[in-house]
Amino acid sequence: MSDAVLVLNGGSSSLKFAVFERREELPVLLRGNVSSLGHRPRLRVEAAAGRPKIDRSLDEAPIDMDKAFAVVASVLAENDLLRRIDRVGHRIVHGGRDFTEATRLDERTLKALRLLEPMAPIHQRINIEIVALATELLPKALQIGCFDTAFHSTRPELAKIYGLPRAMTEAGIVSYGFHGLSYSHIASKLRDRYGASAGGRTIVAHLGSGASLCAMDAGQSIATTMGFSTLDGLVMSTRCGALDPGIILHLLQDRRLSGDELVTLLYEQSGLLGVSGVSGDMRTLIGSDDRAAAQAVDLFVYRIGREIGSLTAAMGGLDTLVFTAGIGENAPLVRERIGAAAAWLGVGLDEERNRRGEEVVSNRNSSVDVLVIPADEERAVAAEMSILRSLGNQDGPGL
């Protein structure tokens, strides 16, 4: 019986997985996460379809993605799911200009995606590695890529181009935007709540280890804070966010940093970790008495508040503000402070609702609906694959 879809979502330190039954409502058969690969790896599997919850340490030592995938494969086998999976959906961070819809991951496609690795060095290589592992585990299954950049392809041309020579723009040096699968899921949830308007002029704050904002009008991307790479925009856990390009020139020409040293600095040693000198984890920073840790949190909130103003200007107003992802869903203090920074736009949070993390956290006087909606990139991937199937073409567009 082949009636299930496996979704794999690999990051720099985790591998999320979910198995959905191939029905319209996409019921979850199994969902889990192998986390903290570079520290103390842990397996968590949510209780679903009569299966017990799992939460256990794997090892005291770091593990690589191969071993994390082996753990996932073992869980699938133990739950007798491998025989039911005929499609594997992969979250691919960068699709460039060519991949704006779900696409079959054959060797030609993978070759093109490998060329995009320099624009997402933390994620793209890992995403492609997971495709190879899944192909080995399930050689008869169709491997399908769904792209974080695709959601932002609807933006106006002016939101995509930089002030560079046109030849560079035409060569692909443009803003792509990221976290698109997360934003796609939020847009679908907003349509469930508001109908076709999807909350009107909306800013979604995807605040996790990687962080960005997206301005959406009626569920379509209008502008976003990440651009050509996943470095742009907000201050993140270990990534710098937006920088004056002159700083890069200074680091290369005057400090004599090599290309590899620069990549390590900007992607792994900056952001909350770099500013605080303590940690890139928001929970640690909030709980710390260190002055530099407090300043890192202040900077995180300040940059978000400033970008909310910018994105509101791009839309001509704000009707809905949504928090999602790890920090957005689980840090009431951060939501409270961002709400205060956006009070001039009519944003008002209810203290008790916000503390409890309810879905609606705005107060009765707020002219902006403020929501907390859990991220679910895995369901977004499964939904894209479901749309392909509903078109009556087994391979679907782009396959």
Residues designated as active site? 148
Question: Could you give the 3-state DSSP secondary structure of residue 48?
Answer: strand
What is d(CA 204, CA 245) in angstroms, rounded to the nearest whole number? 27
Helix %, strand %, coil % of the chain (to 5): 40, 20, 40
Question: Which residues lie below 8 Å from residue 148, measured CB to CB, with a gap of 6+?
Answer: 91, 92, 93, 94, 95, 178, 179, 180, 181
Nearest to 43 by CA among 77, 66, 75: 75
Nearest to 231 by CA among 217, 220, 247: 247
Give the angle 73-374-315 at the CA atoms, nearest 5°.
Answer: 125
Question: Which residues lie below 8 Å from residue 274, measured CB to CB, with a gap of 6+?
Answer: 238, 240
Point out which residues pair with 21 in neighbouring strands.
4
What is d(CA 18, CA 378) in angstroms, rounded to the nearest whole number? 7
Residue in the block written with tokens 């397996």: 43
What is d(CA 54, CA 71) in angstroms, rounded to the nearest whole number? 13
Q: Is 101 exposed, middle or buried (0-12, 13-18, 19+ CB in 10 A)?
A: middle
158 CB neighbour count, 10 Å cutoff: 8
Strands 85-92 and 142-147: parallel
What is d(CA 218, CA 23) in angstroms, rounded to the nearest whole number? 27
* Strand ranges, E, within 112-263: 142-147, 201-207, 211-217, 220-224
